[in-house]
Structure 1
Amino acid sequence: MRILIALAAALMVTGSTAAQAAAPAALAAPNINVANVQAHLNQFQSIANANSGNRAHGRPGYLASINWVKSKLDAAGYTTRVQSFTSNGATGYNLIADYPGGDANNVVMLGGHLDSVSAGPGINDNGTGSASILEVALQVKATGFQPTKHLRFGWWGAEELGLVGSTYYVNSLSSTEKSKIKAYLNFDMTGSPNPGYFVYSSSGQPTGSAALTQRLQAGFTALGVQTELTNVGGRSDHAAFARAGIPTGGTFTGAEGIKTSAQASKWGGTAGQAFDRCYHRSCDTTANVSATALDRNADVIASTLWATAA
């Protein structure tokens, strides 16, 4: 997450969406095993440890992260491609992975940034979102899910320099290709150690974003977790998609913002303390992650993808 996100008023959803209610039982999303997500985080930590303690744009740790994620997706039968760009005098990379099948004119896309800041390994920011969507992508294959819509996943470079990679990707698409993407879901910091449960507000976002927000909220409601809306504006990788008129949504567990007493009463944790005290610091390691928040968000990512792409 590049900078602090302003938090909006609390909103709790009390029921599931019609789209989810209508989904056949055979299309039920899997319960994502958080241990698998944590194993991916351990790999990102190992990569950082072997590369000067970070996975930042233009540094060896970032490219090693891209190559490792690509190897997992290639083995699962995805069609992958690495897109290169230049920023701040260094080469950056996006990884795009398409799952075979589905309506190529009706694309559902999930993404998150894979780079860290240079100060640390970036495990919560944003190893958590990157690892979660990787595991969800692997479970698409493992469960034999055959969505009617086409699935695409993206891991973005140089987010920490100003959303560079995701913007480059969207700008590289023709108008026709942009119009095929019917939904983009962004996951940036999904395991903060003093977590909040925030869902991107659809206010001011393209038509169709409200349905994505409602699905994400319903996913948390099914887990018995209250949510608050957050106005992320242009502060994470969904921004370029929104500017292109693509419906967007996402989740977030908080950065350097301070948890209030009301939020601590609702979610647990410590009032008066940052959601992530190690935000953009060297201590953003695997010890800086709430397994509970990571687990809940991964399950909501899966349930939302299954409901949206079915």
Structure 2
Amino acid sequence: MKLSVPVTVPVTGRAAVAVAVAVATLFTTGSIAGAAPAAEPVAAAAPDLPVAGVKAHLTQFQSIAAANGGNRAHGRAGYTASLNYVKGKLDAAGFTTTVQSFTSGGRTGYNLIADWPGGDTDQVLMAGSHLDSVSSGPGINDNGTGSAAVLEAALAVSRAGYQPTKHLRFAWWGAEELGLVGSRYYVNNLSAAGRARISGYLNFDMIGSPNPGYFVYDDDPTIEQTFKDYFAGIGVATEIETEGDGRSDHAPFKSAGVPVGGLFTGASRTKTAAQAAKWGGTSGQAFDRCYHSSCDTTSNINDTALDRNGDALAYAVWELSE
């Protein structure tokens, strides 16, 4: 996995055609005809999200859980420590972070919102994941994987000094495991105008399952096609996500009329023989045998799935924010 560094971006699509015409004119006439105005800037290519960086965050989440009763659940010290870890990385990278508090089950919970300076604040692209685990385990696949990949994508934005047309906002939700409490609180506390300004919300929940499938949400056609394009480009077949439909943090956004999409690698459902033939892995076993269990540790991750989904996440953020 190569590290994400600034590189010269290959020119593709309409821009490639324009360059080819200009070069042909230069070689035949010695100048570019008519001294035409400069071409529109070529859109920046999404970085290859370093899976080693994503896994480093997972190691931190595992250590946090181990030091705090074995979990990172809502209202527990492990959740607060997880939030502080993510916030520290974002603050150091130049994000404007906001901690939003709410109450559920007699305990205080927190959402973490991170805004990247710049972009049109009337067009906000959000990417998010739930940061809490269940109380029975450290929650490394569910949902350390989504949280770590969203964090690494945000850090990639900072490393690239990326300045897209749209405003970028990243979010880590509390108390998802208690019924989407944190994300629903956030959406319900937006004004009508604030909701209307969100052009899309991308959700990442369980993207490194040990016996993975490659599932894409079908809620919004544009977002769905963006993810499908990425996976088609690397030769990986996808299926429409149904197991978690409406059961993760995209649901409150969708109910509020925000276009949503996301990725998922499967939970307690069983992988079929057809799916194993398509994706590898073991048929007749759950996508994640450690779902909501104490064995959902850093050993419960498929690196290839985590790598592919992390790169798809970055691709979608870059593509949909232009």
Instruction: Confirm or deny a common fold (TM above 0.5).
Output: yes
What is the deviation of 1:95? 0.1
1:29 match: secondary structure:
coil
CA distance in 2 between partners of 1:285 and 1:269 (Å)? 19
Matched, 1:215 2:232: no
Aligned length: 285
Equivalent residue, structure 2, for 1:261: 273
1:117 match: secondary structure:
coil
Deviations for 1:198-256, whole angstroms, at most 9, x for unmatched residues?
00122xxxxxx110000011111111110000134321100000011000000000000
- Which fold has the larger relative contact order, with Cα–Cα distance below 8 Å and residues 6 or more apart in sequence? 1
Equivalent residue, structure 1, for 2:53: 36
Aligned amino acid, residue 280 of structure 1: H
Equivalent residue, structure 2, for 1:51: 68
What is the deviation of 1:25? 5.0
Aligned match of 1:86 in 99, 103, 106? 103
Aligned match of 2:137 in 117, 120, 123? 120
Matched, 1:198 2:209: no
What is the deviation of 1:143? 1.1
CA distance in 2 between partners of 1:233 and 1:297 (Å)? 18
CA distance in 1 between partners of 2:122 and 2:191 (Å)? 13
Deviations for 1:16-75, whole angstroms, at most 9, x for unmatched residues?
xxxx95686551000011000000000000000000000000110000000110000000
1:194 match: secondary structure:
coil
Aligned match of 1:167 in 158, 180, 184? 184
Q: Superposed, which structure 2 residues align to 1:11-30 within 5 Å?
A: 26-30=43-47
Equivalent residue, structure 1, for 2:312: 300
Equivalent residue, structure 2, for 1:75: 92
1:28 match: secondary structure:
coil
Aligned amino acid, residue 146 of structure 1: Q
Deviations for 1:165-195, whole angstroms, at most 9, x for unmatched residues?
0000000100010000010000000000000
CA distance in 1 between partners of 2:297 and 2:52 (Å)? 16
1:288 match: secondary structure:
coil
Aligned amino acid, residue 220 of structure 1: F
CA distance in 2 between partners of 1:149 and 1:22 (Å)? 21
Q: Superposed, which structure 2 residues align to 1:106-185 within 5 Å?
A: 106-185=123-202
1:100 match: secondary structure:
coil
Matched, 1:224 2:235: yes
CA distance in 2 between partners of 1:225 and 1:141 (Å)? 29
CA distance in 2 between partners of 1:199 and 1:233 (Å)? 10
Aligned amino acid, residue 276 of structure 1: D
CA distance in 1 between partners of 2:253 and 2:162 (Å)? 26
1:286 match: secondary structure:
coil
Aligned amino acid, residue 142 of structure 2: D
Unpaired runs of 5+ residues, structure 2, are 1-11, 16-40
Unpaired runs of 5+ residues, structure 1, are 1-19, 203-208
Equivalent residue, structure 2, for 1:274: 286
CA distance in 2 between partners of 1:230 and 1:293 (Å)? 15
CA distance in 2 between partners of 1:95 and 1:215 (Å)? 26
Aligned match of 1:246 in 258, 267, 290? 258
What is the deviation of 1:83? 0.3
2:145 match: secondary structure:
helix
Q: Which has the larger radius of gyration?
A: 2
CA distance in 1 between partners of 2:137 and 2:298 (Å)? 11
1:186 match: secondary structure:
strand
CA RMSD of aligned residues (A): 1.2
2:274 match: secondary structure:
helix
CA distance in 2 between partners of 1:230 and 1:74 (Å)? 34
Equivalent residue, structure 1, for 2:247: 235
Distance 1:216 1:21, change over 3 A: farther
CA distance in 1 between partners of 2:47 and 2:224 (Å)? 20
Aligned amino acid, residue 52 of structure 2: A
Equivalent residue, structure 1, for 2:4: none
Equivalent residue, structure 2, for 1:10: none
